[in-house]
Chains A and B, each alone.
Chain A
Amino acid sequence: MIIKTEKINNINIISIQGRLDSNTAGELEQRLLPTIDQGETHFILDFSELDYISSAGLRVLLQAAKKINAVCGKMAICAVKPEVKEVFDIAGLTIIFKMFDNPDSAVKAIL
């Protein structure tokens, strides 16, 4: 898994590439959660190159969403591949995460 981060104004755009599973979720947890504790509040997760997600990945995203919600921040996910979206659907998490087709529409939504 490769994690790329970019910041535009106060929005953190994080691109997660490859697989987000029990082998790699810890890395995302270590990269993402502390930044929320350090005061970052706006996040866009770009899933355009995310091929696979398991419950380990969903767990980190849920933890992040709760933390962001607690500081009245905003998070959106964009460009989710169908097979990844299906896992969110089965887990009943599609309604919890705001999903958009591309980074631009995600940015507009959380500004």
Chain B
Amino acid sequence: MDITTKISIPNQIPEIEKVCDIVSTFGEEKGLPQKIIFAFHLALDEILTNIISYGYRDKDEHIIDIHLSLQAGALALEIIDDSVPFDPSDAPVPDVNQPLEERKIGGLGIYLVKNLMDEVEYKSDNGTNRLTLKKKF
């Protein structure tokens, strides 16, 4: 049995904590392991932060949809937005072996997402971005 739920937020940074908390509450209610809840909370935070911080060239309000889908043995999150197309697999990978002086400041968000999730799939469809995050438990 699949359980799905949909949340929509405007593109404002303070909305991120609200939607992440909704996802965490959903996970707790469904009895998901704490590690999974933590992984999705952080991954969603990182993705939404990137979209809201860097994804829009105007000052208008945009809506971001988050679809949660609980399947047997896995949780999937689909983030749908109309921001500037960005495929996470294009993001530069930070070199985690570099010493402090050489460590670059950027790129950590996507790096965390890729390490937290089992699957990260991006599709750009006529001006709409669809990013799916999936993790098995």
A-to-B contact residues, CB < 8 Å:
19, 21-23, 54-56, 58-59, 62-63, 65-66, 69, 83, 86-87, 90-93, 96
Choose one: A23, A55, A58; the contact of B13 (CB below 8 Å): A23
Contacts of B103 in A (CB 8 A): 62, 66, 93, 96
Determine whether the beta carbon of A91 is less than 8 Å from that of B100: no
Contacts of B109 in A (CB 8 A): 54-56
In this assembly, does B82 line the interface, its C-beta being within 8 Å of a C-beta of chain A?
no
Q: Which of B41-49, B62-70, B73-81 contacts A (4 or more CB under 8 A)?
A: B41-49
Choose one: A22, A23, A65, A83; the contact of B38 (CB below 8 Å): A83
- CB within 8 Å for A23 and B112 given contacts A92-B97, A96-B100: no
Choose one: B45, B52, B115; the contact of A54 (CB below 8 Å): B45
Q: CA A93 – CA B13 in complex, angstroms? A: 25
Q: CA A97 – CA B51 in complex, angstroms? A: 29
Determine whether the beta carbon of B45 is less than 8 Å from that of A21: yes
Choose one: B16, B96, B115; the contact of A22 (CB below 8 Å): B16
Closest to B43 in A: A54
Q: Max chain B CB contacts within 10 Å: which of A22, A55, A58, A96? A: A55
Contacts of A91 in B (CB 8 A): 94, 96, 108, 111-112
Q: CA A7 – CA B94 in complex, angstroms? A: 34
- Size class of B's contact patch? 20 to 34
Q: CA A87 – CA B116 in complex, angstroms? A: 10
Q: CA A54 – CA B110 in complex, angstroms? A: 11
Determine whether the beta carbon of A23 is less than 8 Å from that of B100: no
Determine how close the nearest CB of chain A comes to the CB of B107; give it in whole angstroms. Answer: 9
- Interchain residue pairs with CB less than 8 A apart (18): A19-B17, A21-B16, A22-B53, A23-B13, A23-B14, A23-B16, A56-B49, A56-B109, A63-B105, A65-B100, A66-B100, A66-B101, A86-B38, A90-B115, A91-B111, A92-B97, A93-B96, A93-B103
Determine whether the beta carbon of B17 is less than 8 Å from that of A87: no
Closest to B12 in A: A23
Closest to A94 in B: B96
Determine how close the nearest CB of chain B comes to the CB of A58; give it in whole angstroms. Answer: 6
Determine how close the nearest CB of chain A comes to the CB of B85; give it in whole angstroms. Answer: 21
Contacts of B42 in A (CB 8 A): 54, 87
Determine whether the beta carbon of A69 is less than 8 Å from that of B16: no
Q: CA A93 – CA B99 in complex, angstroms? A: 10
